[in-house]
């Protein structure tokens, strides 16, 4: 069979006022281009898990910048599409067109995992959860021309992250990606009520053997000698001893990298020094609310309330990380239940006081499948239920408790 893997990249935001105010400014557009041109690691993992690969032709496609599918994809027998909520309606439209033309469509990813019935109206095969061990069955079903159905990863052996293959980076060809994604771990031990990341796929936090992370980066280096690596993790340095070993083995590779982690890296100077020496340029940390408004974080992390506990010392901790030569991209959410209009000034003050090298300021977003979405829906506070296209982190689609939308 000819199997296509269709990635949908790019940044999404809809609010016309916000777009007018700044999201179309040259600085933002440039930055968006940099971060938006990341390959879909999920699809590259699926490609690597394709059974009887010698019998199939595999092709990786990117949707065009107008969000349509490239014409060539219609020559495929089966197309795999990966979904995030913000692009899912575009993905469904493409799936409908492909199926109308006789191409079989498989859909998986964060969004359809929590909305499988909705997806089943648009795809032949819908996959719930991590795709690695399910994909071979999907390919065989397509080959045997089996009728549409939903595959649940729970009915397959759980993914052993110590046995993941090298993602098929070679399928990316010569496209000008300026970063390559690698996973060192899947999941996060914490459980924030708004999080719509890997926790949608699997509740467990798992880290990979360091040697295999190195193996994957070496595979990238074979294709691009000087890659910038983005770890597509939820929280890389949970286990500090493992993290130090990762850094020791990264150092000789001489690559620069970026990752997402939590603020506790700040408390381990040895780790910070190793990270710096290993090529870490920036860590992205979900601070969510500035120290002046730590109260708004009460209960947000549902296991141990860690975010509320960490916030009072944010200032010294972020400073410590940055003093070691690693920049911090501090992420803030506007519109938590404890936030009133004062939050705008407080975020600005905090960012300038540290001062933070980078900030990412977004709006509280009730992604489907999250406890936050369930609660706001019950409270009648979702303005337009089912408008998944508004799950961009920039569009307001709920009624905040202490201010107007
Ligand atoms: C890299 C990344 C991007 C890249 C994506 C590149 C691409 N083409 O895929 C870029 C920069 C383009 C991007 C953009 C956006 N992103 Co983003 N991004 C990430 C990030 C950091 C890592 C994703 C990743 O690589 N995961 C690792 C892979 C292995 O996992 P996976 O993709 O889920 O794939 C597995 C399964 O889902 C499944 N699977 C996936 N697809 C399929 C398909 C089939 C057929 C099958 C069988 C299985 C399957 O199998 C895979 C292997 O197990 C996550 C945060 C995080 N830490 O995870 C946010 C994240 C995914 N992004 C998010 C958001 C909100 C966005 C934007 C909307 C932001 C914006 N306003 O523009 C846009 C949407 C872009 C779009 N076109 O849809 C949210 C999505 C939440 C949600 N549930 O929808 C996340 C979780 C971050 C967050 N804040 O919560 N993002």
The H or E element spanning position 215 is helix 210-223
Dihedral, 16, 6, 362, 114 alpha carbons, nearest 10: 110
Q: Which atom of ligand 1 is the closest one to the Cα of 234?
A: 57
Confirm or reject: Cβ of 139 under 6 Å from ligand 1.
Answer: no
Q: Which atom of ligand 1 is the closest one to the Cα of 111?
A: 83
Confirm or reject: Cβ of 133 under 6 Å from ligand 1.
Answer: no
Q: Is 382 helix (H, G, I), strand (E, B) or coil?
A: strand
Res 187 pLDDT > 70: yes
How far is residue 397 CA from its own chain's centroid?
21
Res 22 pLDDT > 90: no
- Residue tagged 């790019």 (tokens): 10
In this structure, the chain runs to a length of 405
For residue 186, the CA-to-ligand 1 centroid distance in Å is 13
Bridge partners, residue 179, by sequence: none
Q: Would the pTM count as exceeding 0.75?
A: yes
Res 28 pLDDT > 90: no
Q: Are residues 299 and 305 in contact, defined by beta-carbon separation less than 8 angstroms?
A: yes
Atom 68 of ligand 1, residue of closest alpha carbon: 392
Atom 50 of ligand 1, residue of closest alpha carbon: 131
Provide the edge-to-edge strand list for the sheet that holds 256-261.
180-182, 228-231, 256-261, 280-288, 327-334, 358-363
> How many whole angstroms separate alpha carbon 211 and alpha carbon 162?
10
Atom 78 of ligand 1, residue of closest alpha carbon: 87
The pLDDT value recorded for residue 34 is: 59
Confirm or reject: Cβ of 44 under 6 Å from ligand 1.
Answer: no
Confirm or reject: Cβ of 208 under 6 Å from ligand 1.
Answer: no
For residue 84, the CA-to-ligand 1 centroid distance in Å is 6
Pull the structure tokens for residue 320. 């410590």
Res 367 pLDDT > 80: yes
Q: Binning pLDDT at 50, 70 and 90, where does residue 29 land?
A: low
CA angle 152, 154, 160 (to 5 degrees): 120
263-278 per-position pLDDT tens digit:
999 999 999 999 999 9
- CB count, 10 Å around CB of 225? 7
- CB count, 10 Å around CB of 41? 18
Q: Chain-wide mean pLDDT for the chain?
A: 95
């Amino acid at each position: 069979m000819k199997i296509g893997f269709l990635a949908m990249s790019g940044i999404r935001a809809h609010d016309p006022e916000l777009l007018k105010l700044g999201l179309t400014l040259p600085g933002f557009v440039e930055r968006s281009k940099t971060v938006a041109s990341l390959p879909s690691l999920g699809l590259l993992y699926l490609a690597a898990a394709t059974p009887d690969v010698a019998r199939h032709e595999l092709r990786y496609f990117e949707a065009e910048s107008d969000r349509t599918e490239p014409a060539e994809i219609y020559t495929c027998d089966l197309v795999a599409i990966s979904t995030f909520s913000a692009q899912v309606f575009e993905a469904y439209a493409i799936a409908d067109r492909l199926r109308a033309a006789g191409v079989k469509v498989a859909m998986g990813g964060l969004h359809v995992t929590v909305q499988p019935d909705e997806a089943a109206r648009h795809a032949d095969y819908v996959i719930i959860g991590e795709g690695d061990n399910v994909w071979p069955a999907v390919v065989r079903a397509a080959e045997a021309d089996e009728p549409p159905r939903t595959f649940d990863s729970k009915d397959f052996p759980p993914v052993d992250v110590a046995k993941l293959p090298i993602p098929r980076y070679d399928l990316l060809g010569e496209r000008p990606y300026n970063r390559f994604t690698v996973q060192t771990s899947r999941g996060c031990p914490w459980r924030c009520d708004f999080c719509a990341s890997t926790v949608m796929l699997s509740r467990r936090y798992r880290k990979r053997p360091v040697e295999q992370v190195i193996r994957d980066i070496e595979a990238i280096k074979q294709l691009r000698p000087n890659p910038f690596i983005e770890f597509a993790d939820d929280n890389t340095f949970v286990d500090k001893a493992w993290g130090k070993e990762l850094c020791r083995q990264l150092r000789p590779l001489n690559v620069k990298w970026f990752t997402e982690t939590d603020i506790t890296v700040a408390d381990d100077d040895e780790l910070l020094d190793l990270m710096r020496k290993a090529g870490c340029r920036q860590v992205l940390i979900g601070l969510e609310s500035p120290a002046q408004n730590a109260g708004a974080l009460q209960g947000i992390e549902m296991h141990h309330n860690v975010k509320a506990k960490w916030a009072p010392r944010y200032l010294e901790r972020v400073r410590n990380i940055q003093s070691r030569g690693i920049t911090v991209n501090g992420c803030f959410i506007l519109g938590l239940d404890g936030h009133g209009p004062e939050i705008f000034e407080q975020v600005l003050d905090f960012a300038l006081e540290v001062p933070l090298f980078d900030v990412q300021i977004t709006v509280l977003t009730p992604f489907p499948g999250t406890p936050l979405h369930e609660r706001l829906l019950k409270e009648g506070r979702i303005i337009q239920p089912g408008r998944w296209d508004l799950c961009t982190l920039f569009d307001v689609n709920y009624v905040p408790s202490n201010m107007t939308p």
